[in-house]
């Protein structure tokens, strides 16, 4: 049951962020619009994660588990897309609607490829994992978005040196997140 504590904590933190963000008066521009969608998708992904983990842990139907894991991977790709678009929006780039739409179209097509790819659930008493083409494709897609985000942040740092702390915290957070998978 310990594997459910982290998603439940994330769900609680997301709920707090949503309450804080939507209870305050915010300026309606493209950045806050993308951020509000990002926060909402993050909440939906965390809620889906909790429900899927409970289903997989207690029911354990492999076919349904595979579908749930594919949907989770698509939600992660959608979240990474929104995070990239948000960082792109605040990184002093010339705003291009065509670039943003193209990014969403590519992610949509990529998500369809993930949904039709193979995903084999691995359910043990210690962990819930998956193998197959779908998770590998999702990891590759997220890696491309991470590289795009780092490029946007580096470009922002080169234009304005006060943004170097953002680059440091992003790289440190990304490193610590990725290194945590080594010990799971």
Strand-pairing partners, residue 120, are 131
Please state whether 60 falls in left (phi above 0), alpha (psi between -120 and 50) or beta: left
pLDDT in tens, 57-69: 788 777 888 888 8
Least Cα distance to 138 among 82, 51, 75, 90 occurs for 75
- The reported pLDDT for the residue numbered 112 is 92
Q: Which stretch of 18-22, 46-50, 81-85, 164-168 has the lowest confidence by average pLDDT?
A: 164-168
pLDDT in tens, 110-162: 889 988 988 877 777 776 777 888 888 888 888 888 888 888 877 776 666 66
**Residues with Cβ within 8 Å of residue 143, at least 6 apart in sequence:** none
pLDDT in tens, 81-110: 988 888 888 776 676 778 888 888 988 998
Mean pLDDT in residue range 11-25: 85
Supply the pTM of this predicted model: 0.78
Sign of CA dihedral 41, 105, 174, 161: negative
**Residues with Cβ within 8 Å of residue 119, at least 6 apart in sequence:** 66, 69, 70, 73, 130, 131, 132, 133, 134, 135
How far from 38 is each of 3, 83, 147, CA to CA, in Å? 24, 7, 19
């Amino acid at each position: 049951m310990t594997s459910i504590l982290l998603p439940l904590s994330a769900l609680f933190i997301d709920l707090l962020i949503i309450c804080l963000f939507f209870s305050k008066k915010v300026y309606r521009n493209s950045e806050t619009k993308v951020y509000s969608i990002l926060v909402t998708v993050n909440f939906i992904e965390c809620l889906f994660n909790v429900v899927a983990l409970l289903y997989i842990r207690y029911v354990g139907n492999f076919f349904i588990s595979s579908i749930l894991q594919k949907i989770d991977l698509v939600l992660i790709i959608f979240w990474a897309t929104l995070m990239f678009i948000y960082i792109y929006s605040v990184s002093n780039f010339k705003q291009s609607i065509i670039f943003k739409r193209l990014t969403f179209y590519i992610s949509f097509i990529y998500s369809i490829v993930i949904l039709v790819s193979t995903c084999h659930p691995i359910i043990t008493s210690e962990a819930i994992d998956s193998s197959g083409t779908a998770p590998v494709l999702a990891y590759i897609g997220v890696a491309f978005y991470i590289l795009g985000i780092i490029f946007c942040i580096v470009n922002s740092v080169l234009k304005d040196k006060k943004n170097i702390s953002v680059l440091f915290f992003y790289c440190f957070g990304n490193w610590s997140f990725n290194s945590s998978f080594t010990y799971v």
